[in-house]
Structure formats: C-alpha cells, structure tokens
C-alpha cells in the first residue's frame, strides 16, 4: 500500500526514512507472491500442454507464450526494484543475501555505477512500480484470455474433427477405412477410465441396447431396429472410440447400412446427458469384452 501512494502522488517529497522500510516490506511481499504465481503457472502449463509444440501450434499456446514474456518483464522490473532501487533508499544499511549481491554485480557490469542523485530514487521507484502495474494488468488480461481458449492438449486431440476448411463437424469414414487405421480416425487419441464389465452388461440390458444391436452368444432378444452387430467390435476398436460413439455418435459417422439415416447422420441417439462417467466407463468395459471368438457360441 505504501508504494501505491508513491505512484499516485509522484511529485510529493516522501521522507526516505519512511519510504525505505515500506518499500522493503512491499518488495519482499511482492516477490513471494510472484514466486507463487510463477510456480503455479509452470505447473498448469505442464498439465495443459504436454510438450513445447502446442506453444506455437495452438491459440492457447500462443497466448501462454505472450503471458510468459510479460511475466519475464515483470520479474526483471521487480528484481531491479528490489535489488537496485530499494537498497539505495537506505544507503547506510548493509547489503545482505547472495542473490542481492549477484544481481547488483551484474547491474554494475552491464550499466556501471549509477550517477543519479539520491533525491531522484523515489521518482525512479514510482516509475518502475507503474510499469510493473501495467505489466501485471497485461498478465491478468492474458490469464482471462487463457480461460476462454481451448487448452493445448485438447486442441491437439480435437483436430480430427476439423475438416480442411476449418469448420468443426462430423468426421466421415467407412468401416473398412477405420479398420485399416487401427479402429479410429488418424490422429485420434482418447482413453476413458477403467470400468466394470459386469455392471456394463447390466446397463446394456437396462438401456435396451440389444433392440438395435445384435451380440451373438449373449442370449439377448433379436434386435427390432437397425444397427451394427456388436459381435467382435472389441477386436477392431479401442475403448476410447466406444466412449465417443456413445456420448457423441455424430463425431465419427460410419457410412453404410445400419449406421446412418436419411439425413446422413448417425441413427444412434447420444447419451451425453443421461450417463454418468462411471456408467459410461462400465458400458465401455463391457463392449471391450465383445470379441469375435469369445462371443460366438
């Protein structure tokens, strides 16, 4: 708070014996807060990016890179304030700490000894604090922009849903093409949590999925609607593909009889508003047991 008065009343002659202790305490507090912000930012970036490529290949990464540059400038101004300007407010106090000595030696090596009179130090402090405030506002703005953009790790995984024109929409493919690419679209990555196959089978019955999908060897009533035979599906598709097909059937549209309706979209209803994560994982676990040989009886 003491430095705020300096900024708002720059032309006032503040006594050094009052300004020096206020500036030192504020500087220590600001350094601690900045260290926490930098540490949490690094941890969050590590969680969201999973590599350096998203820094320049995604919007989230580019905003984060701009924020990092602003934080570097903030650290530089803060270090200059704490290790160069604030010590000059109390020239009689001894310089303590290896970090302070190293920073002051580096400053002397680069710019030489300051020849400015002691009376100008409060004005310089005010100027640096104002610059720090503007940079802090910029960092807060970039942080808000990060909250409105897709994290880099999600943006990289969503690319299979974006056609060449840039419009997000269904990915259309034939079943033969899916089998050739490992059961999922090229570049597709998703892994649901493990579930309980027995509970998943009970859920399959409760939802009456057998009314559209045949599963040989399970003893379900014959399907009355049209839908692909699920026997052996576990031999062709990973668990993540099953999860997305259940939650968003139109994310990947398999072209062929039993898969699409007259409008060209999937005939399967979506369950994104009715299934919990646990139930979804259980249902996916059950579908993962539907192998060709294991179900054929």
The per-residue DSSP string of 37-56 comes to HHHHHHHHHHHHHSSSTHHH
Query: CB within 8 A of 267, min separation 6: which ones?
Result: 212, 226, 227, 258, 259, 260, 261
Residue 285 has pLDDT above 90, yes or no: yes
Q: How far is CA 14 from the centre of its chain?
A: 46
Report pLDDT for 198: 94
Nearest to 84 by CA among 57, 119, 55, 111: 111
The ranges of the chain annotated as CATH 1.10.760.10 are 170-295
Nearest to 68 by CA among 30, 48, 38, 40: 38
User: How confident is the model over 257-276, as pLDDT tens digits?
Assistant: 667 777 778 778 878 777 88
229 falls in which pLDDT band (50, 70, 90)? confident
**How far apart, in whole angstroms, are the C-alpha atoms of residue 153 and residue 112?**
46
Q: What is the CA radius of gyration of the chain?
A: 31
The CATH number of domain 170-295, selected from 1.10.760.10, 3.40.50.2020, 3.40.50.720, 3.50.50.100: 1.10.760.10
Q: Is this structure's pTM higher than 0.95?
A: no
């Amino acid at each position: 708070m003491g430095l705020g008065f300096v900024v708002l009343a720059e032309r006032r002659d503040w006594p050094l014996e009052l300004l020096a202790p206020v500036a030192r305490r504020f500087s220590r507090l600001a350094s601690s807060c900045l260290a926490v912000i930098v540490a949490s930012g690094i941890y969050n970036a590590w969680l969201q990016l999973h590599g350096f490529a998203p820094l320049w290949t995604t919007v989230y990464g580019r905003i984060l890179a701009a924020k990092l540059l602003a934080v570097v400038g903030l650290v530089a101004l803060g270090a200059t304030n704490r290790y160069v300007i604030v010590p000059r407010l109390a020239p009689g106090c001894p310089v303590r700490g290896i970090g302070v000595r190293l920073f002051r030696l580096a400053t002397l090596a680069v710019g030489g000894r300051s020849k400015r009179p002691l009376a100008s130090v409060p004005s310089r402090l005010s100027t640096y604090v104002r610059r720090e405030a503007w940079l802090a506002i910029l960092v807060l703005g970039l942080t808000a922009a990060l909250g409105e953009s897709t994290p880099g790790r999600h943006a990289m995984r969503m690319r299979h849903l974006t056609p060449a024109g840039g419009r997000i929409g269904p990915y259309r493919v034939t079943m033969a093409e899916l089998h050739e690419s490992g059961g999922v679209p090229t570049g597709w990555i998703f892994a649901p949590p493990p579930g309980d196959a027995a509970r998943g089978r009970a859920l399959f019955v409760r939802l009456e999925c057998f009314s559209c999908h045949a599963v040989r060897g399970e003893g379900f009533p014959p399907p009355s609607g049209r839908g692909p035979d699920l026997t052996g599906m576990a031999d062709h598709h990973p668990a993540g593909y099953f999860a997305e097909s259940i939650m968003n059937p139109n994310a990947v549209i398999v072209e062929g009889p039993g898969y699409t309706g007259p409008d060209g979209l999937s005939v399967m209803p979506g369950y994104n508003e009715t299934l919990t994560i646990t139930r979804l994982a259980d249902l996916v676990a059950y579908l993962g047991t539907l192998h060709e040989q294991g179900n054929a009886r």
